[in-house]
Structure 1
Amino acid sequence: MNTTNTSLIKKLLLLFLVFAGLYYAKTFLMPLFIGGILATLFLPFCNWMEKKKTPKGLSVFICLLSLLSLITSVFVLLGWKIYALLDDFVLIKKVSIQTFEAIQIYIYNHLDLTYKEQSQILMNEQPSYTNIMQMLLGSLAYFFTNLILILVYFLFLLYYRVHIKIFFLKQTMASQRNEMEQLIDSAANVSQQYLLGISKMIVLLWIMYGIGFSVIGVENALFFAILCGLLEIVPYVGNITGTLITVVVAGLHGANLSMLGGIVLVYIAIQMIQGWILEPLILGPQVKINPLFTIFALVLGELLWGIPGVVLAIPVTAIIKIMCDHIETLKPYGFLIGETESEKTEKGLLRRLKMDILSSNKK
């Protein structure tokens, strides 16, 4: 076996061990990663307060309160609209029963399964009420435990950020400390850019979906606009899921085909605006991952950590790319993950247009 094959096997083995470690250590690593990425989002605000002579501990505590306020606002907003949807629960239940009966008739006519046989199959597949309650309570306990851990990591990572940075610099040779400092700053910056960019994107999507759904007459248009916008944190899959939910619920409300087609057209129009205008102008230039590796990252994130892994996939992959770009032996992998030259050219034109508009406004 030659040296090249041995080196390749070692790299594949190392990659397997990394993914195995990520999978088995997800209980520890998942809240730590989320807390760390959220901490980078509040880093400029925290630094600004400290420059204004605000005590470090108070600055970090204000950041924590700000984060809690944002989380609470989103939950309150969604809860308010979900409560409004409950007014239509009777109608949705009635239409759902009618739809279910129509499906039963279709199965009986085409698959020759009687209603009794269909009911037996469904009863065998459905979990008991006790199991459902146990699953629900377990999920709630898991969610709140992880939320508390995320907030604790967020608090202490912000407070000890300089201490941790100095630790990494001490692990580096004196000749390479400037490069290591640049790497740490770039990794924090790319996470900031992504989170700030996606936040701006979500707000703009709320506005566009809200206007579009309201114009075509979708009931509870604001709720579905909020839902489609929030699901944008999962690229490609999230917005499709939000639109499908909107179409299904609108259909259960008795929407005609023209309204359902209108929902799809609104989705297509907004995706075109988002893909060709908003993403190149809003998302930072360092968040440059090609669509193929975006899908890879989402699939691997879901396999390793479930839904939180999907949410973390893009910022973590962007940080990995930054690391690859700064380490000579890993630069080919950074190139592989990054955009192609044609994608860079298209987005570069739009970014130059943005800079021209900003400079003309200043004049």
Structure 2
Amino acid sequence: MFKNKNLILYLAASILALYFLFLGLSKAKGFFAPLVTATILSLVVLPLSNKMEKFMKRNWASLINSLLLFGISIGLIALVSFQIRSFVEDWPQISETMKPKIEQVKDFALRHTPLDKEDIKEAKNDSSESGSKTGKKIASFMSGLSSFMANYLLTFVYVFFLLNYRHIFRDFLMNVFPDRKRDTIKTIISKSVKVAPQYLLGKLTLMGLLAILYSVGLGISGVNNFILVSVIAAVLTLIPYVGNIIGFTMAVAFGFLTSGETTVLVGIGLTFMITQFVESYVLQPYVVGERVDVHPFFVIVSVIIGNMVWGIIGMILAIPIMGIITVVLLNIKKLEPLGILFSKKQFSDN
């Protein structure tokens, strides 16, 4: 009976500790999100930085890699911005094309739902009244944009310092634990730093193959700017699960909404269905495969928690962070059962 009470107390304490941990991380997103993002990015370019340091000083190698990451991010933002600009330019044509479709939807709603014309008019009035709140929305957007830009630039500053002074953090970990634990710490560090690069390498290969598959399908379907749409849809797969939905929505916007042809919509739907099937059952296991040793169930759980804590950026970081946590748990004797629980290899072996 006493043991059962202790078990219940430990379980309750663990649940409370996790709750306050995630609550604290959520409240401190402005500080931790850029720092954790910079840490993962630093691990991604660490192999390249190590090679460059054979020919130049560490501070120059760190600076070049920070600027390289910054340039890549600017390129991705420019790519998305170009596509949004194209959509805005095509909006008058889209509006004209979609007017008959909208009227058909209204007629269907009036015939087959409890809605009547008064309800539709009220919806229009509500949308017109919302225009008075535009000023507040713009102010809120500008405030959010300034905060994003500050964190965005700060991330690459962190990358530089993490790369340039990484020996400090390594020495700290080596000295904070007893000498008998040093071999374990070395093993954890060496395995952990490989998780993010391996994951990104697998994802980059996967995105390249997905871009090709999307381009073929969307090109046959008649989507405007299908190559650009395909590349962006492939890049969006960095956001687990949600990225595929955003990519599909974008393809519909530039395909069906522009042309209004039902055959284009069917083609887009088939393209994404077939590509997602190939990704899930062929490409994902063999291309990404064993690069991140996390069981699929806990991948989903980590992505959901990442979204709850930090939103989209949390979803992107969830898988590599979970991979690093699994490596750490598997190499600490007392916590090894948890590592076995999270590990994909252990599940497959049993």
Distance 2:89 2:12 in 1: 60
Check conservation: 1:293, 1:337, Cα contact below 8 A: yes
Q: Which digits, 9 at most, give the CA deviation of each residue in 1:97-144, with x for residues without a partner? A: 444444444445541242432322334556622022112212211210
Instruction: Name the residue aligned to 2:69.
Output: 67
1:142-161 to structure 2, matched below 5 A, reads 142-161=147-166
Q: Within the alignment, does 1:279 sit opposite 2:281 as a pair?
A: no
1:255-334 to structure 2, matched below 5 A, reads 255-283=260-288, 285-334=290-339
Instruction: Name the residue aligned to 1:348.
Output: none
Distance 2:10 2:17 in 1: 11
What's the TM-score, normalizing by structure 2? 0.90
Aligned match for 1:135, one of 131, 140, 147: 140
Distance 1:222 1:250 in 2: 12
Distance of aligned partners of 1:104 and 1:268 in 2 relative to their CA distance in 1, 3 Å threshold: closer
Aligned match for 1:112, one of 93, 110, 116: 116
Instruction: Name the residue aligned to 1:37.
Output: 40
Q: Within the alignment, does 1:24 sit opposite 2:27 as a pair?
A: yes
The range that moved more, 119-128 or 137-146, is: 119-128
The range that moved more, 249-258 or 228-237, is: 249-258
Distance of aligned partners of 1:265 and 1:119 in 2 relative to their CA distance in 1, 3 Å threshold: closer
Instruction: Name the residue aligned to 2:57.
Output: 55
Distance of aligned partners of 1:126 and 1:337 in 2 relative to their CA distance in 1, 3 Å threshold: farther
Q: Within the alignment, does 1:6 sit opposite 2:12 as a pair?
A: no
Distance 2:348 2:267 in 1: 31
Instruction: Name the residue aligned to 2:230.
Output: 225
Distance 1:106 1:296 in 2: 39
Distance of aligned partners of 1:344 and 1:125 in 2 relative to their CA distance in 1, 3 Å threshold: farther
Root mean square deviation, CA, Å = 2.3
Q: Within the alignment, does 1:194 sit opposite 2:199 as a pair?
A: yes
Give the C-alpha shift of residue 29 in structure 1. 0.5
Distance of aligned partners of 1:344 and 1:40 in 2 relative to their CA distance in 1, 3 Å threshold: farther
Distance of aligned partners of 1:35 and 1:344 in 2 relative to their CA distance in 1, 3 Å threshold: farther
Distance 1:107 1:255 in 2: 20
Distance 1:75 1:173 in 2: 46
Q: Which digits, 9 at most, give the CA deviation of each residue in 1:256-302, with x for residues without a partner? A: 33332222222222223322332233326241222322221121111
Distance of aligned partners of 1:208 and 1:343 in 2 relative to their CA distance in 1, 3 Å threshold: farther
Distance of aligned partners of 1:139 and 1:102 in 2 relative to their CA distance in 1, 3 Å threshold: farther
Check conservation: 2:256, 2:265, Cα contact below 8 A: yes
The range that moved more, 255-264 or 300-309, is: 255-264
Give the C-alpha shift of residue 242 in structure 1. 1.1
Distance 1:24 1:116 in 2: 41
Instruction: Name the residue aligned to 1:252.
Output: 257
Specify every segment of 5 or more residues in structure 1 that has no aligned partner in the other structure, as ranges.
346-363
Distance 2:226 2:297 in 1: 33
Check conservation: 2:87, 2:254, Cα contact below 8 A: no
Distance of aligned partners of 1:323 and 1:272 in 2 relative to their CA distance in 1, 3 Å threshold: same
Give the C-alpha shift of residue 319 in structure 1. 1.2
Q: Which digits, 9 at most, give the CA deviation of each residue in 1:316-347, with x for residues without a partner? A: 111111111112222222222222667579xx
Percent identity over the alignment? 28
Distance of aligned partners of 1:227 and 1:51 in 2 relative to their CA distance in 1, 3 Å threshold: same
SS in 2 for 1:219: coil
SS in 1 for 2:259: coil
Give the C-alpha shift of residue 196 in structure 1. 2.1
Check conservation: 1:193, 1:284, Cα contact below 8 A: no
Distance 2:216 2:125 in 1: 46
SS in 2 for 1:283: helix
Give the C-alpha shift of residue 248 in structure 1. 4.5
1:179-218 to structure 2, matched below 5 A, reads 179-218=184-223
Distance 1:139 1:223 in 2: 27
The range that moved more, 327-336 or 115-124, is: 115-124
Q: Which digits, 9 at most, give the CA deviation of each residue in 1:171-190, with x for residues without a partner? A: 11101111111112211111
